[in-house]
Homo-oligomer: A and B are copies of this chain.
Amino acid sequence: MNKEEHFLEKYLKPCTSVSAQFPLLVGDDCAVISLSEDLLISSDNSVIDVHFPANLDAYYVAYRALAVAASDIIAMGAYPEGYLLNITHPEPSDVWFKKFSYGIKDFNEDYETNLIGGDLTKGQLNISVTVFGKKLDKIIKRSGAKVFDDIYISNILGLGKLGYEQYEKKILDLPNQYLKPKLLSKDSIEALNPLMSSAIDISDGLLLDLSRICKQSKKGAMLNINDTVYSNAIDDLVAGDDYVLLFTCNAEHSETVRKILPNCSLLGRVTEEEKILVVDEKGKSINFEKLGWDSF
């Protein structure tokens, strides 16, 4: 057995399981997905020193990479059923892989999801996750926002930034939205799916991600921001790394939405005019130099 096979067999295979939906044990050229509904699929890379710091414990490297990738499936109103995992690592060890596999196992338990395949290659530490879900009632696209729709976030902004600052101060108490991003539960997504008109997950910053909904829906937005919607400061609106759900829905659903997501906040309304206005509690408009994060 070569080293690649050693790590795959010893640490990753125990994280997998066979089911009607994933009928093939890992260890062939491909994974097999058996289903009749439409499939949503998304792929995301987590790169050392870009998406996570070099000294981050392998447990969190795994958990965070999986959560960040799964967040994209939730952002289309579906549930992360399973995923492929490609690990690029300069020099994997048993110690590293053991911790990493615990991160996988905890994530799988927390979100009832499955590792179904992947590979391991040499290179700069880079966790590439390809995750998929089945279409529920409908597929929630970025392009579905309607004028007068309410704009919600599933939790307050800035918890990712706060979590990172805690981590830098070596405070590792949980919950920490940076180390272990908390996503919507399966029940919440199923209940929310029929109500949403558009959705996106906040990864690059609220305003940048909202601008993507606006652009694809050919609409604008009017946001009324007060300090209950962010955890640090007003800059949380452009901070990113939040992995909360940003979505629009008809105002008639407001009571149901609050029941499904007790921590959600109503930020404002979708408008006809294709621009985003942000005003504070006193009605004063707030401007931002940049809308969010860019890799380059």
* Bound Cα distance from A200 to B120, whole angstroms: 18
Query: In angstroms, how far is the closest chain B Cβ from the Cβ of A244?
Result: 14
- Which residues of chain A from 64 to 98 have any CB-CB distance to chain B below 8 Å in the complex? 72-73, 75-76, 78, 84-86, 88, 91-92
* Bound Cα distance from A120 to B157, whole angstroms: 24
**Which of B29, B36, B40, B123 is A48 in contact with, Cβ under 8 Å?**
B123
**Which of B32, B120, B124, B295 is A295 in contact with, Cβ under 8 Å?**
B120
Copy number in the complex reads 2
Is A45 a contact of B123 with CB atoms below 8 Å?
yes
Contact-residue size bin, chain A (C-beta under 8 Å from the other chain)? 35 or more
Task: Give the residues in chain B near A34, CB-CB below 8 Å.
Answer: 38-39
* Bound Cα distance from A50 to B89, whole angstroms: 11
Is B118 a contact of A43 with CB atoms below 8 Å?
yes
- Other contacts beyond A45-B128, A124-B126: 15, CB < 8 A: A3-B295, A3-B296, A4-B295, A30-B41, A31-B42, A32-B41, A33-B41, A36-B36, A42-B84, A43-B119, A43-B130, A47-B88, A47-B123, A48-B123, A49-B123
